Copies of this chain bind each other. A is one copy, B any other.
Amino acid sequence: MVEEDFVKHWTSKAAALGILLLIALCSVSLQAETGENVWLRYAPLDTHATQQYSTLPAVVTVLDDSAVLNSAQREIVRGVHGMLGRTLRESNGLPTEPAIVLGTFSSLSGLASAAKQPRDLVPGSYVLTTGKIHGMECIIIEGPDADGVLYGAFAFLNKIAFHQSLATLHEVQQPSAPVRWVDQWDNLNGTIERGYAGPSIFFDHDTVRPDLSRASEYARILASVGLNGCNVNNVNASPHMLDDGMIRQLARIADVFRPWGVKMAISVDLASPKSVGGLDTFDPLDPKVIAWWQHKVDEIYKQIPDFGGFTVKADSEGQPGPSSYGRSPADAANMLATALKPHGGVLLYRAFVYNHHLDWTNPKNDRARAAYDIFHPLDGKFDDNVIIQIKYGPIDFQVREPVSPLFSGLEKTNEAIELQVTQEYTGQQRHLCYLAPLWKEVFDFDLHAHGQSTPVKDLITGKTFHRPTGGFVGVVNVGMDGNWMGNPMALANVYSFGRLAWNPNQSVKDITEDWTRLTFGDDPLVVETVVNMQLASWPAYEDYTGPLGLQTLTNILGPHYGPGVESSENNGWGQWHRADHEGVGMDRSVATGTGFVGQYPPAVTKMYESVQTTPDNLLLFFHHVPYTYKLHSGKTVIQELYDLHYQGAERAYEFISQWEALRGRIDDERYDFILNKFKYQAGHAIVWRDAVCNWFFRESGIADAKGRVGHHPDRVEAEDMKLDGYAPIDISPWENASGGKGIECAESAKTCTASYQFTKPAGWYEIDVQYFDQMNGQSKFQVMVRQQLIDEWIADDHLPAMKPNGDSSTRRWIIGIALRPGDDIRIVGTPDNGERAPLDYIRIVPWHEARAARGSENRASESRAEGMASTAKAKAAGTSSK
């Protein structure tokens, strides 16, 4: 029966699309805002804004039959449904009425509009235009390939989201480079190295997850900002990635990526032929090894015809590599590239190769030199489908580094920049640290290769040395958490990475504003506040963690999170700042230091070789100077160190009240979630500030001219309180707790109390409780004033520590408490498991002072909101430049 056939047809179609459509049609009105829909919320426009789209065509038609074009078509149906409340008709073939037409140049050739198509657009480009096809007025979304049409579809939807006119479209966009990839450092067991948002969306229990709906959604998110590749596993790769059964499973990931134009790639372990392949060697020049890899690659392409390629981390941090056989990275890379080449795959070889057993007593040793020293001599020796993947700086994703000299050290080799979207060294998504401004500085940094203007963006996109294959790799590490990154605010980094990889010339402020409007809506106060906070966040984080080129002064031997000033010294990892009693900084000059500065082209070498011409913010990366050295700012190094740490922590503190001004202007779920993150950040910024300042105060012996460092009259150290059940403990390293000490409950205690008799004048106070929240327990804390319980909470955050230290130190802000002299203030801790209700100190400060410091008193918003409204209006009219 016809009826039955029809039912079968749509049933199978619905089975494939069903979940997606339900999400698409219902998400706007029925789902709470968790961040899950990222910037693709397609929130309904208000009635006024919808009016200009009343003449929108009713049909969206695709001229070619392809999975990617079907995604583009469905995305437009979904987006228009969400924003305008209309369900467009899906159609195939030439329009018989006014339509939105999706097609590649070839399918549109011969039709009216085709004549206007620009020549020579690179793959992924798109053209938005209007024109007549078969006599019908159409909106035409076209490109040289299906991927381009898909990107055009997202661009079209953004025009509606930004209330821009669709009356006359003529927009041509092309991506800056072919490689716009993300890396995921996912392990087969489901964990993610440096992932801060739950387990892997790809792997669980050493297999690919049965349900890959999150992976599919991830591909859609990547495509929406023009990203076109995803390496799904840790660069510290498991050899089992190449097991036959695993390749079959990986093909399932590639299947859900494909409709979004995202190529799947994997990291491989160079030792695989030996460790899992049954060979006695993995020498890249051994014929058996070559054959083994060729066979593997052929096997992969049989199941994944559009497989992207391999990423290799070798001879680095314990990973095996060609050096075991005296072979060079070029030998290894070319061997793999040869196998990939017939299938169109690429080989990304990471330049992050260094010896982590350096002799730290030799002042000429310098980890920063490694990448250039190893790869520069090999320039020209790599095959055409090899790309050298270079971290932005010579160390490892620090809060600030100079750009890697290797970008200008490879002229006959493809290169890609590796950026870290996951905030390994920059607050792990608990701290707001928006990295687009950092990346923008890197892209725009002029290396002056051959004395010409050669900004990094021109080198990596191949413009400078005419290399066809290069671009951008971002380490993202999304996880199963609903909001993808662990914090909705951190998605700005994902969005901006995509936007900048597409076009590194775009204004970061514009990108940030776009992200904010798509994520939180058009309220001018919201847009201005969020954009300002994002833009202020990286400088703030740099200031309170490692300014003046010190890099992130974190515990580099641990989770890379809290402060650990000495952890980078006196070991082989080479991430040194060389601070001693007299001075600080690592001399990397040619004249007296490690010579690293000499790796740059002459103009840059000249700038960094001299203490005078090195910018303040990188001074200590390049030079060792006395603490009393006068900066360009006119301050001494030590005083600037103190000032910047205080300034950064103050900025973080102000984030709380800046965010609080948005209450009721965005949804409560995200408001509450993010507010708690800001409260945490403000507290942890103080931990950072104090740790670094106290450490340098002790090392230098030079007091803070403003009298702050080491003086905390508002604090009551827990160890100085009257203790019952609690006992003092030493915190390691000492600078991570106030006074170097804390308290925790005795092993047998059921509850413990620490009490203090208040002596200041009667009035309204804020009581801040600095405590430790470990992973191995959920202690309970209660605060009593006299017999009145004024606050209680469970220490159930998931901070990366099993003991009280700078990683677990956190703060409870208790505002608006009436105190008077003689009041008994008492903390009651109830230990749980290995976490013994540990406390560092309490801080009691007059409430009006605390409010003034947060900026709550003068946060008048109306005039600023009006200023922003005109900006948003100009943008809606399409008059703002990009």
Contacts and interface: CB of A to CB of B under 8 A. Distances in A.
Contact of A789 (B7, B17, B814): B17
Contacts of A705: none
Interface string A275-297: 00000000000000000000000
A97 B17 contact: no
Contacts of A668: 32-33, 667-669
Nearest to A77: B788
Contacts of A737: none
Nearest to A755: B3
Contacts of A115: none
Nearest to A522: B664
Given A3-B724, A667-B667, A724-B3, A88 B672 contact: no
A32 B669 CA distance: 7
Interface stretch (A191-199, A208-216, A252-260, A816-824): A816-824
A856 to B, nearest CB: 7
Nearest to A96: B820
A828 interface: yes
A859 B47 CA distance: 9
Interface stretch (A22-30, A426-434, A708-716): A22-30
Contact of A86 (B10, B764, B789, B791): B764
Q: How large is the interface on A (under 10, 10 to 19, 20 to 34, 35 or more residues)?
A: 35 or more
Contacts of A790: 87
Contact of A18 (B30, B792, B817): B792
Interface stretch (A393-401, A627-635, A640-648, A779-787): A779-787
Given A668-B668, A753-B3, A816 B85 contact: yes
A412 interface: no
Interface in A803-820: 814-818, 820
Contacts of A87: 790-791, 814, 816-818
Q: Which of A25, A44, A818 has the most CB of B within 10 A?
A: A818
A882 interface: no
A664 B521 CA distance: 10
A603 interface: no
Q: How many copies of this chain does one complex carry?
A: 2
Contacts of A724: 1, 3-4, 7
A792 B21 CA distance: 8
A7 B792 contact: no
Given A816-B86, A818-B86, A791 B667 contact: no
A90 interface: yes
A788 B25 CA distance: 13
Contacts of A667: 667-668
A9 interface: yes
B18 A820 contact: no
A32 B33 CA distance: 11
A689 interface: no
A59 interface: yes
A787 B90 CA distance: 9
Interface in A91-138: 97
Contacts of A25: 791-792
A473 B29 CA distance: 39
Given A818-B58, A820-B97, A789 B663 contact: no
A44 B663 contact: yes
A675 interface: yes
Nearest to A3: B724
B762 A672 contact: no
Interface in A762-790: 762-764, 782, 784-790
A669 B672 CA distance: 14
A300 interface: no
Interface in A1-49: 1, 3-4, 6-7, 9-11, 13-14, 17-18, 21-22, 25, 29-30, 32-33, 44, 47
A724 B798 CA distance: 56
B29 A88 contact: no
A381 interface: no
A751 B7 contact: yes
A4 B752 CA distance: 10
A81 interface: yes
- Residue among A11, A18, A29, A828 with most chain B CB within 10 A: A29
A89 interface: yes
A21 B790 CA distance: 8
A10 B784 contact: yes
A219 interface: no
Name the prevailing secondary structure of the A interface residues: mixed
A685 interface: no
A84 interface: yes
A37 to B, nearest CB: 13
A89 B785 contact: yes
Nearest to A669: B32
B787 A97 contact: no
Given A85-B815, A85-B816, A788 B663 contact: no
A521 B664 CA distance: 10
A880 to B, nearest CB: 24
B816 A47 contact: no
Interface string A858-882: 0100000000000000000000000
Nearest to A17: B789
Contacts of A6: 753, 787, 826
A22 B668 CA distance: 19
A635 B59 CA distance: 48
Interface in A658-686: 663-664, 667-669, 672, 675
Residue of A7, A21, A32, A856 most packed against chain B (CB within 10 A): A7
A787 B44 CA distance: 26
Interface string A702-734: 000000000000000000000010000000000
Contact of A762 (B47, B58, B664, B784): B58
A59 B859 contact: no
Contacts of A88: 818
A7 B669 contact: no
Given A751-B7, A753-B3, A762-B58, A788 B90 contact: yes
B14 A818 contact: no
Interface in A587-608: none
Contacts of A664: 521
A663 B521 CA distance: 12
A668 B90 CA distance: 31
Contact of A787 (B9, B18, B815): B9
A75 to B, nearest CB: 15
Contacts of A21: 789, 792
A538 to B, nearest CB: 27
Contacts of A784: 10
A797 to B, nearest CB: 14
A85 B657 CA distance: 13
A791 to B, nearest CB: 6
A700 to B, nearest CB: 41
Contacts of A818: 58-59, 86-89
A363 to B, nearest CB: 53
A398 to B, nearest CB: 35
Given A86-B818, A87-B818, 9 more contacts: A10-B789, A17-B789, A25-B791, A44-B663, A85-B815, A86-B764, A87-B816, A87-B817, A668-B669
20 contacts: A1-B724, A6-B753, A10-B828, A13-B787, A13-B789, A14-B782, A18-B792, A21-B792, A29-B672, A32-B669, A47-B856, A58-B820, A85-B815, A86-B764, A87-B790, A87-B814, A87-B816, A87-B817, A89-B786, A97-B820
Interface of A: 1, 3-4, 6-7, 9-11, 13-14, 17-18, 21-22, 25, 29-30, 32-33, 44, 47, 58-59, 81, 84-90, 97, 521, 663-664, 667-669, 672, 675, 724, 751, 753, 762-764, 782, 784-792, 814-818, 820, 826, 828, 856, 859
The list of the 3 closest CB pairs from A to B, nearest first, reads A58-B818, A86-B816, A3-B724
